[in-house]
Amino acid sequence: MPEFLLDYNLMPFHLSLLFIILLGMAKTVAFYFKLKPSQLLKRISPYDFQNVEWLNVKFSKTLIVFFFLMNFSFAGYLLQFLIYSEEYHFLPAYYIILPALIIAIFFTVFMIHCLDQVIPPKYKKNDVNLLGRLATISSGNARPGFSAQARVRDEYGQLHYVQVEPEFGELEFQSQIILIRLRKSHYVAKKICKSNRLFSLNLEEA
């Protein structure tokens, strides 16, 4: 191995890469042997971990940590080697850590956003109950016999676009509504008056 790779100014990025490898190995072993590292720690330790949230990390959070460490180490190596190619020496690590963190956060958010678009949710949209939820007309006006599109968030925070019709009258564009009944292909909705407390609460949440 070239000696310059053992430079202490690369150590934060070496450690980040090492942690990625250990994390991957731990998750692989746990998957094949159907083990939960948090449960093992609870058994061998006298300390009560019942209320420690980080022991119950979901896979999505583990994936975020994995992506962040990977991007951090890659950004650190890239910056250091770019400097080395010009100056023939590495900058002190404390000059590189902050820019590497910023780059890592940016690319981690971007990668998670991309995955969120292609990975199906853990629940089916057909199983989500939107009745009683507040919505906003997002396209056109609705009247009996003619539906319009509305946007509404479910209990998981997922955004849905549904077709709505009023029982009577008209639902104008951008009006606040509440979904009161489900028909075959659309929801029946009722307009919320601006004086209604629900309308004020919905504006505060938005």
6-15, 55-64, 102-111, 189-198: range with lowest mean pLDDT? 55-64
Our CA angle for 164, 173, 176, nearest 5°, is 70
Q: Please provide residue 171's backbone torsions phi and psi, each rounded to the nearest 5 degrees.
A: -110, 110
Give the residue extent of every domain in the chain: 1-118, 133-191
Averaged pLDDT, 178-186 = 85
Averaged pLDDT, 188-204 = 62
Residue recorded with tokens 């564009």:
173
Largest interatomic CA distance in the chain: 79
pLDDT at 156: 76
Nearest 10 degrees: Cα torsion 141, 145, 150, 152:
150
Helix (H, G, I), strand (E, B) or coil at 10: helix
CA 16 to chain centre: 22
Quick: pLDDT tens for 82-126. 988 888 888 888 889 999 999 999 998 888 877 766 665 554 545
Query: Which fold does the domain 133-191 belong to in CATH?
Result: OB fold (Dihydrolipoamide Acetyltransferase, E2P) (2.40.50)
pLDDT top residue among 133 and 128: 133
Helix (H, G, I), strand (E, B) or coil at 135: strand
DSSP 50-116: TT-GGGG--HHHHHHHHHHHHHHHHHHHHHHHHHHHHHSSPPPHHHHHHHHHHHHHHHHHHHHHHHH
- pTM over 0.85? The answer is no
Using DSSP bridges, classify how beta strands 148-153 and 187-191 pair: parallel, antiparallel or unpaired.
unpaired
The answer to whether residues 76 and 121 touch, using CB atoms and an 8 Å cutoff, is no
Quick: pLDDT tens for 42-81. 555 555 544 444 444 444 677 788 889 999 999 999 998 8
For residue 166, the tally of other CB atoms under 10 A from its CB is 21
**One-letter amino acid for residue 116 of the chain:** D
pLDDT at 54: 43
Structure token pair of residue 141: 């006006």
Quick: pLDDT tens for 131-174. 888 999 988 888 888 889 999 988 877 888 899 998 888 888 88
pLDDT at 100: 93
